[in-house]
Each structure stands twice: as C-alpha cells, then as structure tokens.
Amino acid sequence: GKLGRKGIDLVQCLVWQQFRHWAAETYRSLEDLIQRFDLKAAPLQLDRFTQVLVGDGWKGGFEPLLFSSLDTKNQGRLTGRSFSWFQVEKFRCRIKEESSQLMDKEEEKRSLDWNVANDSFTQFKQFLLAKYGGLVRAWRCALSPDDSFVLQKHQFFKAVMKLGCQVNVQLLWRALDSDDSGEATLDELAPADAELFAMFRKWIVDTFNSFDDAFLAFDKIRNNLVTQQEFTNALHAHGFPKPTGALPLFHGIDYQGRGQFLREDLFFLEKWRPLPILLAKPNCEAANELRTLLLKRFGSFLKAWRRVMDKDSSNHVSWAEFEHACKRLHFTNDVPGAWRAFDDDLSGSISLHELDPVSNAALISFRRWADKEFGGVRSAFRVFDAEGTKELLMNDFRQCCRIFGFRGHVRTLFRAFDIDGNGCLNLEEVKFLDQWDCSGEDHEEARRCTAHFPEIHTDRLSANDRQSWNHRSETPRTEGNRRSGLATGGSLKE
C-alpha cells in the first residue's frame, strides 16, 4: 500500500505501520485473518475487533483509531474488504525476509572484512612497536631495508611472512594501502612519525647547506658518530622547532639500535620526497573556500563528493584523489592546507563526515538500518520497488521508509541519493552505499547530527500521544476530519 496524503500525521503513520507489520506477522493469510475475526458470519463491530486484537497479542493500543481508519465508509462496521491491504503487506514482509536472508551472509562478510582489516592493522603496528620500539625503525629494519619510502605489495607480503606475524596479510594490506594505489608508504603506516621526519628534513634543508653539513653540526667531537645526547643538544642549539621530537627522531635514524648513528644512517632522508601535506598547516580559510566552490558548482556536498572526489564509492578519499579533484575544479588556494583542515587527525584519508557531517550521518543511519532490516541497501531498494518499475519517486521513497520503520530524515536522504536532481531514484544511485566502510563511523555522532531533524526518532509513542489519539478516535468523524485520519481508502490507500 501507499500513503496517499503528503501531510499525513506522523503519529498516525507510526500506528498504522506497527499494526500492518503485526498483522502480517500474526496471521498466516487473508483467509486466516477473516476466520479469526469471523467476518463471513457478520460485519465486525468495534468491541469484537478490539477483543480479537488484544486476544491475538496486539499491544499497540489505539484500537478505536485503527477501527475507524479501516471503516473507510464510516458505517461503524468492518467487512473483508476493509482488510484488502493485508495481502500486499504479507507480500512485502515475505520479500523483505527473502531479501534479508540473501544478503545476510554478504553483509556479514563485508562487515567482518573491514573490521578484521582495521583490527589486523592495529595489531600489526603493536607487534612492530613491541619488536622494534618504533614504527620508523620497523620500516627501515623489516619492511624496507633498502630505505625506500615506497613499498610494493609483493615486498610487503614477503616482509610480513619473514617477520612471522600471524595476521591475514590480504586484509592487512587493504588497511595499509588506504588509497588503493598498490603501494604503501611510511605516512600510511605511521602518519605522525612521517610528519615529524618531514619537518626534520625541511629543517635540515633550510638550516644547513647539505646533509653533510648537518651531520658535522651534530658530530661536535668529530668522531663520525652522533650519540643521543649530542643529537638532542644540536637540535636545541640550532633551533629545531619541535625539540620534543628529538628522541623519536634519534630512534628512527639509529635504526640498528646501537645508541649512536653514523654519517650514512642520516642520508636516507636525503632521497625522500615527503608529501606536501606532511609539511602543510591546516588552512581553514582555504577549506571553506573549497566548500563554497563545491556548493556553487554542484549544489550539494554529497553530489560533489560522489562526482569528483569519492569515485570508487568507498567513503575514503586519499590525498592523491583529493589533489586530482582540486585540479579538476581548478582550485589552487593552498590545496595541502585545505586537506590538513579536513584531515585534522592526520589519518591519511577523509570521509564525507569531514566535508558534510549531516549528509554523512543521514547515509550512515540509513545504511545501518537497511543492513539490519533487509541485509543491504540494494535489497531494501528491491523491497521498496515492489511494482518492479526500477525507480522510486520522492513520495514512494518516503512512504516506504515510514511503512518499514526508518526514522531518519527522509527528504535529506532522498536528496543525498538523487545526485542528478531529477526527483527519481534508481538502483545505480543508491547501491554505492553498500560499498562504504562504516566500521569507523560513530553511531552516537550520527545520531547527534540528525537529532534535530523533524522526524520520529522512537518506536514508542508517549502517553500524551496515546491519550490525544484515543480522544480523537472517539470524536464523531465528519467528512473533513475523516479525510485527514488514518484510513485505507483515504489517507492510507492501497
């Protein structure tokens, strides 16, 4: 069935949705329902309707409201035709159950893969820290002993096997190679350390004529060795901007753990070309200018996100993808600074949350609901498209969301999906959400972002709502208020 009036009261909608679902779950068929209410013997009165409902386990209340809504002709009695919607609801429940069963295993595997990948990455870094004391030393000793700052996939697999770390190396690589470039870099393994070493490298270039001169400045007694104390004193004497970084810097340079480093131990930095984002400072002005440009060009952040940034629909955009998007947009105002304003936690990637937390929260909320109810977004679309038209208009989408119990902000969600702006959704426009990695999304943050939306956010009606609607349902129905009531032939028409 479909809701017929655009302005239908949300409380009535919730009651109707609960009743439909309960009836489809309780009665095996329309014949079973007719038999329970004994509709073949005589028309059904309110007292008998209420008695049977309560006897069969209905605990939602509002029996007078439901009765008057089913009594579309206002005759004070119900017949078999009053329940013509039941077969449609039963069909929807069956399709929903079948779709959920088909998608459950796929969703379980998808969620498990992301969670295992992230957990494996965390465990692997803990393993390296325990074994080497630092991630830069681990990189130089175990992962890239030739001091390359780029690691190919086969090299990484070989290094992990040699280390004897018991992890799923495929999923570990998936988490490490966050931009899906086929290569891993130091900044993907240890972004904070990479930032510190990039700062140190720039300081050497700016302060000394060469890396040779820098080593001579560190080696005060000219014995071709630099101890930790000598290194710390030299950083302080020459004004290194982050003196607290002396220990991790020394630890990474002295990768063999001798307590001192040689001239050649320092030169691995000379051939490194760190990403510009490691040296950039967050530039909120540039980030806001980019936001303004995206809104002007595309009308919404999500449309811009899907069309020029997140081309693989992963909800993760790497620096390379971000830089490429800015080039397409002809945006040149401190691109690295804009990136750092978005990626304030130096995670190495940004999600829609950093650009548009409201739309991100709406999509995450719908994705989690669809996963729970149908096994995925594609499966939910199949259920919503019961007539097989392969498209959903705004009213159809909103009605289905309400009928099946989605409590988010449907209008915001529809606009988020409808990037073409044609007022119609097809499967291609929504299925991308099944690919999103939601493992790191904060459910409470999503709830807070959508808490102000004017939708129902609870499955329970308040006592005031119940009292109000019981009073309304007892009021004699005129033609006007009957049209605004919950009725299968008026406001709720099958």
Helix 211-218 × helix 191-207 angle, to 10°: 90
Which amino acid belongs to residue 153? Answer: K
Position 226 scores a pLDDT of: 94
Cα–Cα distance for residue pair 74/485, rounded to 1 Å: 12
The answer on pLDDT for 8 being more than 50 is no
The answer on pLDDT for 203 being more than 90 is yes
The radius of gyration of the chain from alpha carbons, rounded to an integer in Å, stands at 31
Position 108 scores a pLDDT of: 45
Which residues, 6+ apart, have CB-to-CB distance to 37 below 8 Å? 44, 48, 49, 52, 78
- Distance separating the N- and C-terminal Cα atoms of the chain: 4
281 band by pLDDT with thresholds 50, 70 and 90: very high
Residue 251 Cα to chain centre, angstroms? 37
Cα–Cα distance for residue pair 463/328, rounded to 1 Å: 56
Contact yes or no for 344/174 (Cβ under 8 A): no
Position 440 scores a pLDDT of: 55
Measured CA angle at 448 (ends 444, 449), to 5 deg: 115
Q: How confident is the model over 277-282, as a mean pLDDT?
A: 94
The answer on pLDDT for 248 being more than 90 is yes
Q: pLDDT by residue (tens digit) across 345-355?
A: 888 889 899 88
Which bin fits 52, alpha (ψ -120 to 50), beta or left (φ > 0)? alpha
The least confident of 55-59, 384-388, 398-402, 439-443 is 439-443
Q: pLDDT by residue (tens digit) across 35-52?
A: 888 888 788 888 888 888
Cα–Cα distance for residue pair 416/307, rounded to 1 Å: 12
The least confident of 264-273, 352-361, 474-483 is 474-483
Which residues, 6+ apart, have CB-to-CB distance to 35 below 8 Å? none
The answer on pLDDT for 99 being more than 80 is no
Which H, E and C letters describe the chain, residue by residue? CEECCCCCCHHHHHHHHHHHHHHHHHCCCHHHHHHHHCCCCCCECHHHHHHHHHHCCCCCCCHHHHHHHHCCCCCCCECHHHHCCHHHHHHHHHHHHHHHHHHHHHHHHHHHHHHHHHHHHHHHHHHHHHHHCCHHHHHHHHHCCCCCCEEEHHHHHHHHHHHCCCCCHHHHHHHHCCCCCCEEEHHHHCHHHHHHHHHHHHHHHHHCCCHHHHHHHHCCCCCCCEEHHHHHHHHHHCCCCCHHHHHHHHHHHCCCCCCEECHHHHHHHCCCCCCHHHCCCCCHHHHHHHHHHHHHHHCCHHHHHHHHHCCCCCCCEEHHHHHHHHHHHCCCCCHHHHHHHHCCCCCCEECHHHHCHHHHHHHHHHHHHHHHHHCCHHHHHHHHCCCCCCCEEHHHHHHHHHHCCCCCCHHHHHHHHCCCCCCEECHHHHHHHHHCCCCCCCHHHHHHHHCCCCCCCCCCCCHHHHHHHHHHHHCCCCHHHHHCCCCCCCCEEC
Position 459 scores a pLDDT of: 35
Question: 447-480 burial by CB neighbour count: b if 16+ within 10 A, else e?
Answer: eebbeebebbeeeebeeeebeebeebbeeebeee
Please list the residues that pair with 184 across neighbouring strands.
151
Q: How confident is the model over 461-479, as a mean pLDDT?
A: 40
Q: How confident is the model over 350-376, as a mean pLDDT?
A: 87
Position 159 scores a pLDDT of: 92
The answer on pLDDT for 461 being more than 90 is no
Which amino acid belongs to residue 161? Answer: M
Q: pLDDT by residue (tens digit) across 446-460?
A: 444 444 333 333 333
The answer on pLDDT for 293 being more than 50 is yes
The answer on pLDDT for 473 being more than 70 is no
Position 95 scores a pLDDT of: 67
Q: What rounded mean pLDDT belongs to the chain?
A: 81
- Give whole-number Cα distances, 399 to 25, 333, 405, 412, 416, in Å: 20, 44, 10, 14, 17
Position 9 scores a pLDDT of: 59
Q: Which long-range contacts (CB under 8 A, 24 or more apart) does 333-337 make?
A: 333/286, 333/289, 333/290, 334/280, 334/283, 334/286, 335/286, 336/276, 336/277, 336/279, 336/280, 337/280, 337/281, 337/282, 337/283, 337/286, 337/287
Dihedral sign computed on CA atoms, order 31, 32, 33, 37: positive
Contact yes or no for 167/120 (Cβ under 8 A): yes
Position 207 scores a pLDDT of: 95
Pick from 401, 432, 428: nearest CA to 414: 401
What pTM, to 2 d.p., does this model score? 0.69
The least confident of 116-120, 176-180, 278-282, 290-294 is 176-180
Share of the chain above pLDDT 70, in %: 81
